[in-house]
Amino acid sequence: MTSTLTDRPATTPRGGGKSRRRIAAPPLVLFVLIIGLYAAFGSARPAMFDEKLVVFPMLRELTIYTVVGLAQMCALSIGHMNLAVGRMAAFGAMTSGLCYELLGLPLWAGLVAGIVAGGAIGAFTGWLIAKTGVNSFVVTLAMDFFLLGIVSLVYTGLTTGAAFTAKPAGMAELRAYSFADLCVGEVCGTAAIPQMIVFALVPMAVVGYVYSRTRIGRELLMVGANAKAAELSGVPTKRRVIAAHGMSGALAALAGFLLAVSTGSFKATIGADFMLPSFLGPVLGGTLLAGGAVSVLGTMLGTALTLVIRRGLNLMEVGLEDLNIYIGVVLLAALSADRIRAVIAERKAGRPR
């Protein structure tokens, strides 16, 4: 699920677009790298293959951080960044927690309320950017601090331990159940894959469809490739900025809900560690920081790569300081790869055909 935008004449053969697409989407390379690293770590530490202790929790983390990566990817698609992605996750989770704690709503209703709240605060952030013309870095950073204060005030005023303790029916099952618990007759699924992973696959399908099959998706990529040219072409750029940040906020809220379900409570600290993973997955997966190209599948694979590295190094008993160094190296490699892909794409686009 890779979507790109190339500024080419209508008569240009499709081959040029395919070469650009290969540059911006390395899913096969990432997949091979993930399998190779996983096998290497597993041969050194057989516990890496343990379904209950390693595989199941890692896939649950993959679900959460893939959604976080998609949230950042939506902002990156228009050449923006969302530095408030973690606080939007906390805001959405807080809204869901309020629905359970104060209103006693069922699990699905609180989830919907949280996603709507995250989408609203994301759309408001996009409106501020479009209205004022201030760089997204500044506006989302300011929104991060604003939401930090709001979330802290709500938890301090309504709870005693900075957490909502209400657990609606189905929350524990969503956290712990795997596809082994889904049986049709005598045929059951695997115990290694959590049912929660559906909450990553559905957003991936929806976001992939939006960017590859809809006019809005194409216009979002046009804004990312060249906002001024998109505006001159009749694209409502301000509305597309609001839409991209609204999608980012809604997905961040979903990630916050999933993290709350995974930990068993809705806390003020939800989303505090989302910033780095939100960039690693998309950038490693082929999404351009400058905008104009996204990769939904690549986002999941890039996230999986970082999780395999982190979990493998943990099993190898690598210290926290060294682990941070390795993750920093991965991020540097991701940023370098992003720049290399952009330069190659620019050079190919400039060649006469």
Domain-located, residue 334: yes
Query: What percentage of the chain carries pLDDT values higher than 90?
Result: 62
Helix (H) or strand (E) holding 184: strand 183-184
Helix (H) or strand (E) holding 183: strand 183-184
What's the confidence (pLDDT) of residue 9? Answer: 36
DSSP lists the bridge partners of residue 3 as 294
What's the confidence (pLDDT) of residue 1? Answer: 64
Backbone angles phi, psi at 168, to 5 degrees: -65, 160
Residue type, 62: L
Range of the domain at 102: 2-6+15-176+189-350
Backbone angles phi, psi at 114, to 5 degrees: -65, -45
In our burial notation (b when 16+ CB lie closer than 10 A, e otherwise), range 73-102 reads: bbbbbbbbbbbbbbbbbbbbbbbbbbbbbe
Domain-located, residue 243: yes
Angle subtended by helix axes 136-158 and 107-132, to nearest 10: 140
Domain-located, residue 182: no
Q: How many domains does one find in the chain?
A: 1
Domain-located, residue 84: yes
What's the confidence (pLDDT) of residue 10? Answer: 35
Taking 60 as the threshold, does the pLDDT of residue 23 lie above it? Answer: no
pLDDT per residue over 106-125, tens digit each?
A: 999 999 999 999 999 999 99
Domain-located, residue 230: yes
Task: State pTM to two decimals.
Answer: 0.88
Other CB atoms within a 10 A radius of the CB of residue 31 amount to: 15
pLDDT per residue over 126-152, tens digit each?
A: 999 999 999 999 999 999 999 999 999
Domain-located, residue 28: yes
In our burial notation (b when 16+ CB lie closer than 10 A, e otherwise), range 115-149 reads: bebbbbbbbebbbbbbeeeeebeebbeebbeebbe
Helix (H, G, I), strand (E, B) or coil at 44: helix
| Cα→Cα distances 48→26, 53, 263, Å | 25, 8, 22
Domain-located, residue 218: yes
What's the confidence (pLDDT) of residue 162? Answer: 81
Beta strand 187-188 with 293-295 is unpaired
Q: Are 27 and 285 in contact (CB under 8 A)?
A: yes
Beta strand 163-164 with 187-188 is unpaired
What's the confidence (pLDDT) of residue 332? Answer: 74
Q: What is the CATH number of the domain that holds 21?
A: 1.10.3470
pLDDT per residue over 63-90, tens digit each?
A: 999 999 999 999 999 999 999 999 999 9
CA distance 314 to 328: 16
pLDDT per residue over 185-234, tens digit each?
A: 666 667 789 999 999 999 999 999 999 999 999 999 999 999 999 999 99
Domain-located, residue 181: no
